[in-house]
């Protein structure tokens, strides 16, 4: 039987994911841990599947409006997918004992705080990136591609370990790295598309390790799938300042 609390959490998070690209991990994982008492390893594994399926539905709307910047997405994948694979291999070497659980909780907490700080600083990072782009155009363009790959690697490591960062942290980094190229709707769409295979890949690894609760996942998706479509449609219509 559907759980009203999980349905509401899924709907709220799904709407935010569709609207802003943020929330699949940075919001849902803390909710599962703090509000619903889900074990950390299960929360991470289940949230990865929740985020990937929810964002996949949002992508159909964004792709219809031609908002996805595929060269940027490919640069992010070049860093994030190998980093996620390495992280998953390392996770298999450690058993989910009490020390590992405590460590994972601490890492999730740090990831959420870093992500939150990044969101708060996003406006200033965008301004800094814009000035750098306009005053040091040649140097900025030389660094842009390798820094995007490196940013992808950081995101991939965090997502595989904590499920946090693909949306919120990705959006913050893209704001700095592409201050002129990515308008808010394009940034959201690009960030969401990058996160889908990354979350699926990491989620597949957690599935084989045995950390996915499909009953929990089903409840969350029942709430999120209608809500993410509403958020994605609204995203393409809102003024840029509201999306920021």
Token couple for 188? 């959201």
CB atoms within 10 A of CB 109: 14
Percent helix, strand and coil across the chain, each to the nearest 5: 80, 0, 20
- Do the beta carbons of residue 179 and residue 126 sit within 8 Å? yes
- Locate the DSSP E strands across the chain: none
How far lies 240's CA from each of 120, 123, 132, in Å?
Answer: 17, 13, 22
- Do the beta carbons of residue 175 and residue 168 sit within 8 Å? no
Token couple for 131? 């000035």
Which of 156, 137, 160, 138 has the alpha carbon at shortest distance from 148? 156
- pTM of structure: 0.83
Q: What average pLDDT does the chain have?
A: 87
**Half-sphere exposure of 162 toward its Cβ, with a 13 Å CA cutoff?**
27
Count structural domains, the chain.
1
68-103 pLDDT, tens digit each: 899 999 999 999 999 999 998 888 776 555 566 777
165-224 pLDDT, tens digit each: 888 888 889 999 999 999 888 888 898 889 889 999 999 888 887 778 999 999 999 999
Q: What does residue 66 show for φ and ψ, rounded to 5 degrees?
A: 55, 50
């Amino acid at each position: 039987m559907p759980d009203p609390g999980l349905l509401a959490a899924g709907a709220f998070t799904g709407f935010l994911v569709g609207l802003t690209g943020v929330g699949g991990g940075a919001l849902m994982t803390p909710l599962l841990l703090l509000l619903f008492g889900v074990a950390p390893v299960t929360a991470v594994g289940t949230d990865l599947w929740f985020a990937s399926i929810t964002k996949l539905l949002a992508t159909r709307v964004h792709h219809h409006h031609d908002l996805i910047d595929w060269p940027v997405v490919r640069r992010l994948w070049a860093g994030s997918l190998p980093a996620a694979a390495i992280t998953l291999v390392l996770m298999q070497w450690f058993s989910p004992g009490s020390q590992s659980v405590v460590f994972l909780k601490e890492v999730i907490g740090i990831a959420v705080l870093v992500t939150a700080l990044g969101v708060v600083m996003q406006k200033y990072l965008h301004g800094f990136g814009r000035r750098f782009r306009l005053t040091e155009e040649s140097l900025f363009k030389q660094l842009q591609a390798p820094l995007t790959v490196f940013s992808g690697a950081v995101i991939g490591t965090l997502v595989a370990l904590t499920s946090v960062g693909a949306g919120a942290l990705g959006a913050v980094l893209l704001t700095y790295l592409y201050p002129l190229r990515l308008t808010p709707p394009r940034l959201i769409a690009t960030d969401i598309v990058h996160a889908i295979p990354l979350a699926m890949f990491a989620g597949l690894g957690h599935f084989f390790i045995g950390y996915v609760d499909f009953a929990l996942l089903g409840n969350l998706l029942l709430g999120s799938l209608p809500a993410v479509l509403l958020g994605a449609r609204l995203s393409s219509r809102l003024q840029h300042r509201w999306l920021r």
